[in-house]
Structure 1
Amino acid sequence: MTTGAAPVWRACTPARFRLSEGARWMGGSLLFVDLLRGDLYRIHGVGGGSPEPLLRLTMPLGAVAPVADGPPGRWIVAAGPGIALTDARGALHWLARPGERPDRAMRMNDGGCDPAGRFWAGSMEVHAATGAGSLYRTEPDGTVHEVLDGLTVPNGPVFTADGRLMYLADSARGTINRHTVDPATGTLGPPEPFAFFPPAEGRPDGMAVDDDQNLWVALWGAGHVLCLGPDGTRLRALPLPTPHTSSVAFGGGLMYVTTALHRLERPGPLDGAVLAAATNVTAPPVLPYGPISGS
């Protein structure tokens, strides 16, 4: 594994965020969420001024994806207790609310689309109770299926360009598993252990697959982003000037990393910033969801 020259990280905006997550490159700009506040933002590189708010929900917002062929401002979201579509005004139209349970306080966490237009998102108990979370697959027709259970803090999933492999982290357990995927049906194969991180190395959080099919992982608590080859080999480790690195994305010649103020008693000047550094790594833009037939 190589470290190479340390990147020069710059804050993209003056704002700092409690829990920025879900970095996605779309249409020449970066999307990300402030998860606990329930806000979706867009920024345009480094030095672009204040982030542009696109959604303001009254519940935690784990992840979003644009709706294919939909009007501007329409999203599928993993928010609060479930999965919903939004209209241009930000109103939620629920597809499923599996987190509405009388026995546990649940919320949705990270998510994203596969190349076939399915939206995948994980759920967790708000205090990260062991094994309380699940992974859900939302079909282009709007039906929602639970496909995995027994998860604790699911992050990802992310997919290879052909849609045949899915990587899913369980941050609390320090694991990343890889599953085969049937592109036609979305059926998952059994989990294959891909990477494990003991607590001293940080917890695997948001991820991205680049155009060389390498997996990039933000390591929460460790202030690093790690690049893993398709065989699991650790290729590069990039240090950041803040411990809580939460997601990673590539676009416009930059590598973006979201970070968080969450649970830091004495935040430093860059904690909670969305950071960017120059890179020659490229990756596909955010994949869209959809569309729901008849809508």
Structure 2
Amino acid sequence: MNIKAIVDCKTILGEGPLWDTREQRLYWIDSYGAKIFRSDEDGGGVEVWDVPQKIGSLALREQGGAILSLADGFYFFDFATGKATLMHAVAHKASTVRINDGKVDQRGRFVSGSIEITEKGADAELYSVGKDHTVRTIDDNIVVSNGPCWSPDGRTFYFADSRSLAIWAYDYDLETGNVSNKRKFCEFGPEDGLPDGATVDADGYVWSAGVYKSKIHRFAPDGTKALTIDMPIVCVTSIMFGGKNLDRLYVTSMKEAPVPGIVETGPLAGSLFVIDGLGVKGLPEYRYGG
């Protein structure tokens, strides 16, 4: 196994790595810096776009461009012009709530949750954005939404409320996009960090970034921990398999932690990393169908 920093992007809060198999390009964001990045699989040819608000996540669209989770709602983004256009404004329960992490299911819906930025109030929600651009709430009473992802068959949905120190599993109805039978998939202990960005590999194992504790964890489908990787940074935030063989694990990080008492130091803080030699392959990400 080899861990290497490949882009010295110094993201304030790096998040959301997304490998697109069609373009053979990697996307990621700086949530607090309000930027989108794109590169090749080795971190070369970096392009950067500014967006008008803090950004929680992005997914590419079938007809081109992207759908973005910005602070106040869902936007369409045109990479050619750099323009973000509001698709749906979200009526948050509190002024301290913004939209955060999101991914696309096998039917082309974009599922994205919000966070309460003081990380104290359960005022955040989990949304499903349909291909017809309708937005509905599928879960609520959440503090910090992170790590949405699905089992290989698409019928188990994994989701972390980071402050609960757990990843949750739901039954997922691919035909309707509804969730049910919420249960605890795994818990994070004091040395595991908080569950942040996540992905599922081709064998159905769940990978999660343990933010604030320099960790990446791999969990078996029954929730038992199968592997822990120690990273050379404290604030590891999100992960995604990519590269032409989907066998490289991309890792984002932050250089300024948003919580008191966490200080990230060193020249690698905020860099984009890649881990090679894991002997594991990921799954291709879907595009938003609307």
Say whether the 8 Å CA contact 1:123–1:153 is kept in structure 2. yes
Contact kept? 1:174, 1:199, Cα under 8 Å: no
Alignment partners' CA distance in 1, 2:136 and 2:75 = 14
Q: Shift of residue 175 of structure 1?
A: 1.2
Report the counterpart of residue 24 of structure 2 in structure 1. Answer: 28
Whole-Å Cα distance in 1 between the matches of residues 264 and 226 of structure 2? 32
CA distance in 2, matches of 1:46, 1:192: 38
Distance 1:16 1:159, change over 3 A: same
User: What is the aligned counterpart of 2:47 among 37, 52, 64?
Assistant: 52
Superposition deviation, residue 266 in structure 1: 5.4
Distance 2:55 2:200 in 1: 22
The answer to whether structure 1 residue 182 and structure 2 residue 173 are counterparts is yes
Quick one: which amino acid aligns to residue 132 of structure 1? D
Does the 8 A contact of 1:24 with 1:285 survive in 2? no
State how 1:198-237 maps to structure 2 within 5 Å.
Answer: 198-237=189-228
Query: How far apart are the structure 2 equivalents of 1:179 and 1:139?
Result: 19
How many Å separate the matches in 2 of 1:195 and 1:36?
29
From 273, 276, 279, the equivalent of 2:274 is: 276
Partner AA of 1:46 in structure 2: D
Q: Where does the alignment leave 5 or more consecutive residues of structure 2 unmatched?
A: none
Q: CA distance change for structure 1 residues 266 and 144 in 2, over 3 Å: closer, same or farther?
A: closer
Which residue identity does 1:160 align to in structure 2? S
Q: Are the counterparts in 2 of residues 135 and 146 from structure 1 also a CA contact under 8 Å?
A: yes
Q: Please give the secondary structure, in 2, of the residue aligned with 1:192.
A: strand
Moved more, 167-176 or 256-265: 256-265
Return the letter of the residue paired with 1:284.
L
In the TM superposition, residue 262 of structure 1 has moved relative to its aligned partner by: 1.6
* Unaligned runs of at least 5 residues, structure 1: 1-6
The amino acid of 2:73's aligned partner reads G
Q: 1:23-43: per-residue Cα shift (whole Å, max 9, x none)? A: 111132211100111111112
Q: Deviations over 1:117-174 (max 9, x none)?
A: 0001111122223211100000000000011110000102101222211000011121
For the 8 Å contact 1:19–1:262, the answer to whether it is kept is: yes
Q: 1:266 to 1:187 in 2, by over 3 A?
A: closer
8 Å CA contact retained: 1:136, 1:147: yes
Distance in 1, Cα, partners of 2:121 & 2:166: 14
Provide Cα deviations, 1:217-266, integer angstroms capped at 9, x if missing partner. Answer: 01001111110011111111111100111111112242111111123545
* Cα distance per residue 1:178-231 (max 9 Å; x no partner): 001111001111211001113432000000001111100010011111100111
Q: After the TM superposition, which residues 67-78 of structure 1 pair with which residues of structure 2 at under 5 Å, given as runs? A: 67-68=61-62, 70-71=63-64, 74-78=65-69
Are the equivalent residues in 2 in contact too, given 1:10–1:46 (CA < 8 A)?
no
Q: Distance in 1 between matches of 2:43 and 2:124?
A: 38
Q: What amino acid maps onto 1:18 in structure 2?
A: I
Mapped to 2, the partners of 1:173 and 1:47 lie a distance apart of 34
Q: 1:168 aligns with which of 159, 164, 177?
A: 159
| Whole-angstrom distance in 2 between the partners of 1:47 and 1:210 | 22
Tell whether the 8 Å contact from 2:256 to 2:264 is kept in structure 1 after alignment: no
Distance 1:105 1:237 in 2: 33
SS of residue matched to 1:9 = strand
Residue in 2 aligned with 1:290?
Answer: 289
Q: What are the within-5 Å matches in structure 2 for residues 71-220 of structure 1?
A: 71=64, 74-87=65-78, 88-99=80-91, 103-220=94-211
What TM-score, normalized by structure 2, do the two folds share? 0.91
Question: What root-mean-square deviation, in Å, do the aligned CA atoms of Structure 1 and Structure 2 show?
Answer: 1.6
CA drift of 1:47 comes to 5.4
| 1:17–1:261 CA contact under 8 A, matched in 2 | yes
Structure 2 counterpart SS, 1:172: helix
Deviations along 1:91-123, whole A, 9 cap, x unmatched? 33323222556x423211100100010001111
Tell me if the contact between 1:12 and 1:43 (Cα under 8 Å) persists in the aligned partners: no
Which secondary structure does the structure 1 equivalent of 2:163 belong to? helix
Aligned length in residues: 279
